[in-house]
């Protein structure tokens, strides 16, 4: 499947709905847009943010979309009609990442104020503040069982937190530059981290051991994503490429070129057949795997 232009501004984030039928994008034009994945038709534009939208995420049931923005807020939208449900205002700086827990009851947000906040989705109440990073938090992700939260930061570390009470479980060190993206494998046993040191690192979650370092990008790694079956890892980079890796042995399988600017976000469709990549060149490309 070839590239499809579906935005007029630089794209920061892409996310598939759980049923794979809808694609959400967050952009430099301060909007969130919902697209029909099958043909790229624009379904809805969500307006309200007053600065670029850095991160978007669907709730597990697909009914709510969360967006994190440089305007310091997180917004929760009703997917069916685009209604704004809640505006979460507690961060004191740009919000760089949002992620729902697997049960959909909790939302995590990471921000330039060096904190991770946990929110109750039903009413937008702030539940917990996780502190410890010493630089902006650029990425957050829940483990598949919802018990662990990972955060990647410009302080060059990845931190693992117990979601239930916010206790710091482990700090993963090894990257030599800021950590831009983190993602759990579908079985929860591996964590991937992408860094501006141009590498991706695969960590064993149980003890924090470094399993493998993937080094082929020639620019900062902006995004990492596992395929639904856990066999593949996609990485997007400032070198304008998407790379596909075999998780089992770290082999580089292919390089997807075509973007003319930084690839800020990569995501697999729920069935694993399509990979979407969003770029600062203003396009989303859909790749048939």
Q: What pLDDT does residue 164 have?
A: 96
CA-closest candidate to residue 25, choices 289, 276, 193:
276
Counting residues of the chain whose pLDDT is more than 70, the rounded percentage is 97
Q: What pLDDT does residue 48 have?
A: 97
Per-residue pLDDT tens digits for 189-207 = 999 999 999 999 999 999 9
Q: What pLDDT does residue 26 have?
A: 97
Q: What is the mean pLDDT of residues 67-79?
A: 98
Average confidence score pLDDT of the chain: 96
Q: What pLDDT does residue 8 have?
A: 60
CA-closest candidate to residue 56, choices 96, 29, 92:
96
DSSP per-residue codes, 203-269: EETTT--EEEEEE--SS-EEEEEE-TTSSEEEEEETTS-EEEEETTT--EEEEE---SS-EEEEEE-
* CATH-assigned architecture of domain 3-288: 7 Propeller (2.130)
Which pLDDT band, with edges at 50, 70 and 90, does 9 fall under? confident
pTM comes to: 0.96
Per-residue pLDDT tens digits for 123-177 = 999 999 999 999 999 999 999 999 999 999 999 999 999 999 999 999 999 999 9
107, pLDDT greater than 70: yes
13, pLDDT greater than 70: yes
Q: What pLDDT does residue 120 have?
A: 98
Q: In three state form, how does the secondary structure of 134-154 look?
A: CCCEEEEEECCCCCEEEEEEC
Q: What is the mean pLDDT of residues 231-243?
A: 98
């Amino acid at each position: 499947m070839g590239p499809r232009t579906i935005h007029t501004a630089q794209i920061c984030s892409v996310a598939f709905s759980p049923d794979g039928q809808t694609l959400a994008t967050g952009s430099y034009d301060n909007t969130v847009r919902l697209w029909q994945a099958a043909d790229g038709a624009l379904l809805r534009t969500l307006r309200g943010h007053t600065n670029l939208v850095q991160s978007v995420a669907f709730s597990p049931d697909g009914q709510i979309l969360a967006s994190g923005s440089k305007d310091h807020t997180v917004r929760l939208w009703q997917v069916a009609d685009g209604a704004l449900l809640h505006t979460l205002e507690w961060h004191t700086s740009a919000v760089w990442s949002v992620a729902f827990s697997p049960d959909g009851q909790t939302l995590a947000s990471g921000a330039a104020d060096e904190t991770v906040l946990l929110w109750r989705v039903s009413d937008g109440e702030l539940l917990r503040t996780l502190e410890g990073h010493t630089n902006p938090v650029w990425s957050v992700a829940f483990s598949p069982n919802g018990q662990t939260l990972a955060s990647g930061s410009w302080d060059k570390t990845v931190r693992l937190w117990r979601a239930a009470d916010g206790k710091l479980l482990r700090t993963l060190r090894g990257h030599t530059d800021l950590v831009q993206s983190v993602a759990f494998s579908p079985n929860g046993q591996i964590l991937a981290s992408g860094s501006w040191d141009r590498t991706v690192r695969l960590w064993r979650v149980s003890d924090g051991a470094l399993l493998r370092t993937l080094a082929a990008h020639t620019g900062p790694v902006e995004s990492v994503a596992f395929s639904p079956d856990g066999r593949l890892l996609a990485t997007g980079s400032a070198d304008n490429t998407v790379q596909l890796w075999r998780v089992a042995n770290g082999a580089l399988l292919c390089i997807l070129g075509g973007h003319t600017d930084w690839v800020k976000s990569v995501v697999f469709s729920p069935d694993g057949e399509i990979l979407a990549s969003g770029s600062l060149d203003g396009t989303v490309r859909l790749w048939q795997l």
